[in-house]
Homo-oligomer: A and B are copies of this chain.
Amino acid sequence: MTAREEQESAIGFEAWSHERARHFEWAAESMMPRPGAGPKRLIGAMRYAVLGGGKRIRPLLCYAAGVISGADEAVLDRAALALEMIHSYSLVHDDMPSMDNDTLRRGRPTCHVQYGEALAMLAGDALQAEAFTVISAPQVPAETAARLTQTLARAAGVWGMCGGQALDLAMVGEHPGEAELLRMQAMKTGAMILASVLMGAQAGCWEKLGDGAKAGLVQYAQSLGVAFQVVDDILDCTQDTKTLGKTAGKDEKDDKPTWVSLLGLEGARERAENLEREALQALQLVEADREVPEAGAQRLREIALYVVRRTH
């Protein structure tokens, strides 16, 4: 892209991502459990955890990948909400005293500070269950529901998010090399980024996509996942708490291994740029598939640029 094309694309992306984020808030708000006759405080805690904002990267990836397979918006809404419910529950549990013991998240008190530990744990547990309720509802075709469930469950479990979190716990105070850090993060955060892209595409005509396009999507998501983490580490040590909406400089204080401690600040920045390039190249494989609409990967491309260049 020329500098001008890049600027125009950035404007188009900003409008698209704002519209999608607004749409997602509406869809999440209307599909999330409501208090009323139910367990009010539990539902309150769940809504507090999910509806409290956040960058909504996973829903955006899901919507963007849905373009590739012509996915139905109503199914994408469900996939996007399920992804964000799993992501939000993991934040609630990670913030608890027995884990990271953090008190600030998205610029507000963390869930256990607001609702107490017992209810925060339960809210996380219930969010995970409701994520699977949402994607397996009768409104979703059975083939799609089974595929979305399998993808999300694998990403959330032992070989994905939870397993990565366990490896991360085991690493505190250790000095892991690049390979170990990569592997831990590929599970802890990478698996859910990959699931976001896959679920978007699986919400539509997944079976029509060729192996090349599928491999391209996986490669894109993997590069993006690492880039996301590298940039997070850079921001954690260059931005303040107010800008981030969460406690800054925490990784260093907790003696956690980061990309900055491993490669230095400049090295980390270089690495992020290389990963961005890899992600964009992978999308060429996707667009080479004749089932994929012309410029069908445009939003995924823009998300990669946004993720690497964001400032919070």
Residues of A whose CB lies within 8 Å of any CB of B are 33, 38-39, 41-43, 46, 89-90, 93, 96, 98-99, 116-119, 121-122, 124-126, 128-133, 135-138, 140, 142-143, 145-147, 149-150, 152-154, 156-167, 169-170
Apart from A39-B158, A98-B118, A130-B158, 12 more pairs, CB < 8 Å: A33-B157, A39-B166, A39-B170, A42-B166, A96-B121, A98-B117, A98-B121, A122-B169, A128-B129, A129-B153, A142-B147, A145-B150
CB distance from A181 to the nearest CB of B (A): 15
* Contact among B119, B128, B138, B158 with A38 in the assembled complex (CB-CB below 8 Å): B158
| Given A121-B96, A124-B125, A42-B150 contact (CB < 8 Å) | no
Assess the A121–B121 pair: CB atoms within 8 A.
yes
Assess the A46–B121 pair: CB atoms within 8 A.
no
CB-CB nearest in chain B for A138: B150
CB-CB nearest in chain B for A134: B153
List of B residues within 8 angstroms of A163 by Cβ? 38-39, 42, 126
List of B residues within 8 angstroms of A138 by Cβ? 150
CB-CB nearest in chain B for A34: B158
List of B residues within 8 angstroms of A154 by Cβ? 129, 133
A-B contact pairs, 19 of them (CB 8 A): A38-B158, A39-B158, A43-B158, A98-B121, A118-B169, A122-B166, A126-B157, A126-B158, A128-B129, A129-B154, A129-B156, A129-B160, A129-B162, A130-B153, A136-B146, A136-B150, A142-B145, A145-B145, A149-B149
Residue of A41, A156, A166 with highest tally of chain B CB at under 10 A: A166
